[in-house]
């Protein structure tokens, strides 16, 4: 059985033996939109911070930055927002460094402390740390300092 989500967007629902029909995750919906319209997307705001374990907040409105047009999709109680942004913000789309940049921007310079840096250090593997150094030129200066600390393992 196929399920209609939004205009031009359908899905084959997955069923759990005890929970019944499962709703798609925001990532699955955003990836479907990106594939349909050939867009690049990047999780942003509270959702990016949540994906990295920097926030326990699960936003009702999930924001993805995109190089395409603005769009809102409502699925159940959740709203997925595709927000057009500059090409500079999309350079690191789809990479861990882009997710880190967006989550740190959401938290703000004054709210990034040793606990946040420690959480990132635990979550990032060696490949992710190498990617941070490659993408350091795309990050704001204050985030670049954090990238260096994470890449060097100086936490």
Range 35-47 average pLDDT: 88
Average pLDDT in the 123-151 region?
A: 93
- Beta-bridged to residue 78, according to DSSP, are 75
Task: List pLDDT tens digits, range 48-96.
Answer: 999 999 988 888 889 999 998 898 888 777 889 999 999 988 999 989 9
Domain range for 105: 3-152
**Backbone φ and ψ of 66, nearest 5°:** -145, 160
Determine the pLDDT at residue 155: 54
- Pairwise CA distance, residues 91 & 86, whole Å: 9
The pLDDT assigned to 11 comes to 78
- When divided into structural domains, the chain yields a total of 1
pTM of the model: 0.84
Most confident of 21-25, 34-38, 61-65: 61-65
**Predicted local confidence at residue 28, as pLDDT:** 84
Helix H, strand E, coil C: the string for the chain is CCEEEECCEEECCEEECCCEEECCCHHHHHHHHHHHHCCCEEEEHHHHHHHCCCCCCCCCEEEEEECCCCEEEEECCEEEEEEECCHHHHCCCCCHHHHHHHHHHHHCHHHCCHHHHHHHHHHCCHHHHHHHHHCHHHCCHHHHHHHHHHHHCCC
Alpha-carbon torsion 144, 116, 79, 21, what sign? positive
Residue-wise pLDDT tens digits, 140-149: 999 999 999 9
Q: Is the dihedral of CA 52, 54, 58, 62 positive or negative?
A: negative
Mean pLDDT of the region 30-57: 88
Structure tokens at 116: 């946040």
Least confident range of 7-16, 70-79, 127-136, 145-154: 7-16
What's the pLDDT score for residue 154? 57
Residue 104 has pLDDT above 80, yes or no: yes
Query: Chain-wide mean pLDDT for the chain?
Result: 88
pLDDT band at 117, cuts 50/70/90? very high
The contacts of residue 91 (CB under 8 Å, 6+ apart) are 98, 135, 138
Sign of CA dihedral 115, 120, 123, 126: negative
């Amino acid at each position: 059985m196929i399920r209609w989500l939004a205009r031009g967007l359908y899905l084959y629902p997955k069923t759990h033996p005890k929970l019944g029909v499962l709703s798609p995750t925001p990532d699955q919906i955003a990836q479907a939109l990106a594939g349909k319209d050939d867009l690049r997307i990047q999780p942003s705001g509270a959702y990016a911070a949540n994906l990295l374990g920097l926030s326990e907040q699960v936003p009702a409105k999930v924001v993805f930055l995109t190089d395409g047009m603005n769009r809102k999709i409502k699925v159940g109680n959740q709203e997925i927002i595709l927000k057009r942004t500059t090409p500079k913000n999309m350079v690191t789309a789809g990479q861990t460094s882009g997710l880190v940049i967006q989550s740190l921007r959401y938290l703000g310079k004054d709210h990034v402390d040793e606990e946040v840096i420690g959480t990132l250090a635990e979550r990032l593997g060696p490949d992710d740390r190498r990617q941070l150094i490659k993408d350091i030129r795309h990050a704001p200066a204050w985030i670049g300092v954090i990238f260096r600390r994470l890449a060097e393992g100086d936490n």
